[in-house]
Amino acid sequence: MAGPGYFLGVDGGGTKTAFILTDAVGQVVSRHEGGPSYYIQIGFEGLHALLHDGVEAVLAQAGAKPQDIIYAFFGLPAHGEDSSAQPFLDVIPEAVLGHHRYACGNDMICGWAGSLAGEDGINIVAGTGSIGYGEHKGLKARGGGWGETFSDEGSAYWIAVQGLNAFSRMGDGRLPRGLLYDLLMQELALKSDLDICGYVYAKAAPSRDRIAALSRLVAKAASQGDAEAKRIFAEAGRELAAIVDAIRVKLDYAPGETVNLSYSGGVFQGGELILHPFRERLTAFSPDYRLIVPRHSPALGAAFYAARLSGQPIGLPVNA
């Protein structure tokens, strides 16, 4: 291939998709953000359109063309979770790029590669959904991420559903009415509490990202002292810690061996609201965890992973 070339990283998600282009030594040259890339929600054609537009936009900013890409990694939500869908997901980037210099994987890899700069350890993602992934001495393992219908514990969607459940219980008297009740009434402009049914079910199909967005109101109520909202976040932290510890066991860490652990996703923007119960439960599981503030974004992690797969790894600074 002529010229220095670029690495493309795509970090998909249930709410947004980040595209990033770096040069051959890892310097970011362009970024773009698109909508959700959850194919179960938007379909294969919708995913193709999203990836086409995003790749086109990030290349245009750099004055580059698809053939200038040395290698790309597409981290897609729900990748690897349906054998019948896999062949379709894996060929969509070829239609976008016009070549085979890419790989697809679950977006959990982006979070791990970015947060830990590609070092051994575990990363837990708590965004619209939740999932954990880790690597240790050649072993790879994931945990959680079974989907919002019966899993995704600790995710924004899960927190929102727990909040809606608490609101309903406050509405009919099974729980004392607290700030969470008042916030949902005000922020959603409900004339009566039963109007929440219309908000969730009647205006449109209850899409995953639309429901997950309500987690922000649960976080707001918790930060202002609502007991039920605080309980929900405490339980979310414990659930996320349980996912992490299941991965630690799969990765065969020895007792006393340090487990580097980081995190990504919008739920962690809640700070100590989620991190405090998360740390508490982790400590109960094992004293060997070393919690690390995320070093890089998942999108940059995707570009880093693309470079590694190409055989031309770029050196992301571990303390940036």
Residues 49 and 148 both lie in one domain: no
Residues 109 and 170 both lie in one domain: no
In a domain, 62, yes or no: yes
Q: Which helix (H) or strand (E) holds 75?
A: strand 69-76
- Strands 121-126 vs 130-136: parallel, antiparallel or unpaired: antiparallel
Domain range spanning residue 45?
6-117+297-310
320 pLDDT higher than 60: no
In a domain, 318, yes or no: no
pLDDT in tens, 2-22: 447 999 999 999 889 999 999
Residues 143 and 282 both lie in one domain: yes
68 pLDDT higher than 70: yes
Q: How many CA atoms lie less than 13 Å away from 48 in the CB half-sphere? A: 12
Residues 186 and 111 both lie in one domain: no
Residues 277 and 138 both lie in one domain: yes
Whole-number pLDDT of residue 199: 92
Pairwise CA distance, residues 15 & 236, whole Å: 19
pLDDT in tens, 102-133: 999 999 999 999 999 999 999 999 999 999 99
Percent of the chain with pLDDT strictly greater than 90: 91
* Averaged pLDDT for residues 63-85: 96
* Averaged pLDDT for residues 256-284: 96
What DSSP letter does each residue of 197-254 carry, written as one string?
Answer: HIIIIISS---HHHHHTTHHHHHHHHHTT-HHHHHHHHHHHHHHHHHHHHHHHHTTPP
Pairwise CA distance, residues 20 & 1, whole Å: 21
Whole-number pLDDT of residue 316: 63
288 pLDDT higher than 80: yes
Percent of the chain with pLDDT strictly greater than 70: 97
Whole-number pLDDT of residue 177: 97
Residues 67 and 189 both lie in one domain: no
In a domain, 158, yes or no: yes
Residues 107 and 197 both lie in one domain: no
CATH code (residue 255):
3.30.420.40
Contact 302, 310 (CB under 8 A): no
In a domain, 317, yes or no: no
In a domain, 316, yes or no: no
Residues 138 and 259 both lie in one domain: yes
Residues 85 and 180 both lie in one domain: no
Pairwise CA distance, residues 177 & 168, whole Å: 10
Whole-number pLDDT of residue 191: 97
pLDDT in tens, 160-202: 999 999 999 999 999 999 999 999 999 999 999 999 999 999 7
The reported pTM is: 0.90
Residues 52 and 187 both lie in one domain: no
Q: Provide the domain count of the chain.
A: 2
